[in-house]
Amino acid sequence: MASFPNVTNKVKAFSIKCSATAATPLSQSQDLEERVFNFAAGPATLPEKVLKKAQSELYNWHGSGMSVMEMSHRGKEFLSIIQKAEGDLRALLNISEDYAVLFLQGGATTQFAAIPLNIVKPEDSVDYVVTGSWGDKAFKEAQKYSKPKVIWSGKSEKYTKIPSFDSLEQTPDSKYLHICANETIHGVEFKDYPDPKNGILVADMSSNFCSKPVDVSKFGVIYAGAQKNVGPSGVTIVIIRKDLIGDAQGITPVMLDYKIHAENNSLYNTPPCFGIYMCGLVFDDLLAQGGLKEVEKKNKKKGDLLYNAIDESKGFYRCPVDKSVRSLMNVPFTLEKSELEAEFIKEAAKEKMIQLKGHRSVGGMRASIYNAMPFAGVEKLVAFMKDFQARHA
């Protein structure tokens, strides 16, 4: 780690404060003192209200005499939990009855295989738009079960852009067009979606799921790991048009067959019960906030604050992503003086802002500001960034 004796020895200890927490009641203030602002990319921060509700219900759920972790997944108690979770998710995204909602396991990475196995044959052509590491991984997995083609890749420009949809040369007989709606590592987000000339649109929405309204009817399949925006790790959500279910390849394992899970209402085997319960609490909280339009407004406000701080730093901080496709969920940035990055991360951690180190494959810093990251957390980060720049510019 680089040291800077001529600079840091003159710096007095400081503490970043922000207006949003100034008038916090004592009990809440104690909670805030104990907790950090967690900018991790996933598992990620969860809403305080949700954590406290789960805490209050942990020992004895709704007078049942047991914890959700102890319930039979086929008992009436858990059935009420999973049914409400699905109903609330349908309400949030306005999901019609033409679609099945599945609560699965294995992460979005498992879906890289499940999707071609379920909806195409080995000889079928499928198209992939690769805007980052996760799109690339999805393409490579699809090679085992179909004939995928990368029709656009941002790799040569270090995954900082999204293509013009008009310029996409789609394969004439492609069965689906796959995108990653938000690339967690590189901070690139689709603001609109391409129309497949043939087949259906498939999207990995793991890192911006339920961060804004989405017209589900434009997609054949949406899939997402829960651990970034809607719950703890261990739950994967698949939203799939029902007419796409039931024609899986013969080699498809039972646990990857959407028909099996749809017919059994996500209860073919023991599901991640507590994770689904937590997702349900998050969905309920998002509805209580006014739905995804209101959630999107809050996310834009946070994103604007952080990106403006980067853009107004006169080059001290830099975000490599094209401004038109910058993610509202994952904000990567670097320092003009790269040797200061380790010091930045270390000092931020002392100020209770953690997990700001960029992904190992790209370096730099990354602030993940998912739904549950409060505005106060972004305020505090921006105040710290300005103070750090004043001391090190």
In this predicted model, what pLDDT tens digit does every residue of 177-205 receive, in sequence order?
A: 999 999 999 999 999 999 999 899 999 99
Position of tokens 């996760």?
134
| Rounded-to-integer distance, Cα 127 and Cα 184, Å | 21
Of 161, 175, 228, 302, the catalytic one is 228
Of 88, 124, 127, 204, the catalytic one is 204
Q: How confident is the model at residue 362 (pLDDT cuts 50, 70, 90)?
A: confident
pLDDT for 13 equals 46
| Rounded-to-integer distance, Cα 335 and Cα 319, Å | 9
Position of tokens 């997702």?
279
Please say if 98 is a catalytic residue: no
pLDDT for 22 equals 42
Q: HEC string of the chain?
A: CCCCHHHHCCCCCCCCCCHHHCCCCHHHHHHHHHCCEECCCCCCCCCHHHHHHHHHHCCCHHHCCCCHHHCCCCCHHHHHHHHHHHHHHHHHHCCCCCEEEEEECCHHHHHHHHHHHHHCCCCCEEEEEECCHHHHHHHHHHCCCCEEEEEEECHHHCCCCCCCHHHCCCCCCCCEEEEECEECCCCEECCCCCCCCCCEEEEECCCCCCCCCCCHHHCCEEEEECCCCCCCCCCEEEEEEHHHCCCCCCCCCHHHCHHHHHHCCCCCCCCCHHHHHHHHHHHHHHHHCCCHHHHHHHHHHHHHHHHHHHHCCCCCEECCCCHHHECCCEEEEEECCHHHHHHHHHHHHHCCEECCECCCCCCCEEEECCCCCCHHHHHHHHHHHHHHHHHHC
- Mean pLDDT calculated for residue range 225-246: 98
Rg for the chain, CA atoms, rounded: 22
More confident residue, 249 or 393: 249
Q: What is the pLDDT of the chain when averaged over all its residues?
A: 93
Residues 46, 237: contact at Cβ < 8 Å? no
Position of tokens 């991984």?
137
pLDDT for 131 equals 98
| Rounded-to-integer distance, Cα 360 and Cα 362, Å | 6
- Mean pLDDT calculated for residue range 80-100: 98
| DSSP element (H, E) containing 102 | strand 99-104
* Number of alpha helices (DSSP H) and beta strands (DSSP E) in the chain: 11, 14
Dump pLDDT digits (tens) for 127-160. Answer: 999 999 999 999 999 999 999 999 999 999 999 9
Q: In this structure, which amino acid lies at residue 352?
A: K
Q: How many residues does the chain have?
A: 393
Residues 192, 216: contact at Cβ < 8 Å? no
Of 61, 127, 134, 380, the catalytic one is 134
Please say if 61 is a catalytic residue: no
- Mean pLDDT calculated for residue range 92-103: 98
pLDDT for 361 equals 83
- Mean pLDDT calculated for residue range 255-282: 98
Written as six digits, the tokens of 338 are 């790269």
| Rounded-to-integer distance, Cα 153 and Cα 144, Å | 20
| Rounded-to-integer distance, Cα 232 and Cα 226, Å | 6
Buried-state track 369-385, b at ≥16 Cβ within 10 A, e below 16? bbbbbbbbbbbbbbbbb
Give the residue among 263, 248, 228 at the shortest CA–CA distance from 108: 228
Written as six digits, the tokens of 348 are 């931020």
pLDDT for 263 equals 98
pLDDT for 393 equals 87
Side-chain-facing half-sphere of 44: CA atoms under 13 Å: 29
pTM over 0.85: yes
Kindly give the interhelix angle for 375-392 and 292-311, rounded to the nearest 10 degrees.
0
Q: How confident is the model at residue 8 (pLDDT cuts 50, 70, 90)?
A: very low
Is pLDDT at 110 greater than 70 in this prediction? yes
Please say if 284 is a catalytic residue: no
- Mean pLDDT calculated for residue range 47-57: 98
| Rounded-to-integer distance, Cα 35 and Cα 32, Å | 5
pLDDT for 32 equals 52
Side-chain-facing half-sphere of 198: CA atoms under 13 Å: 11
Written as six digits, the tokens of 105 are 């396991």
Residues ≥6 apart with Cβ < 8 Å to 51: none
Written as six digits, the tokens of 115 are 């999707």
Is pLDDT at 21 greater than 50 in this prediction? no
Is pLDDT at 31 greater than 90 in this prediction? no
Position of tokens 């949406």?
222
Least confident segment among 27-31, 110-114, 245-249, 277-281: 27-31
Is pLDDT at 384 greater than 50 in this prediction? yes
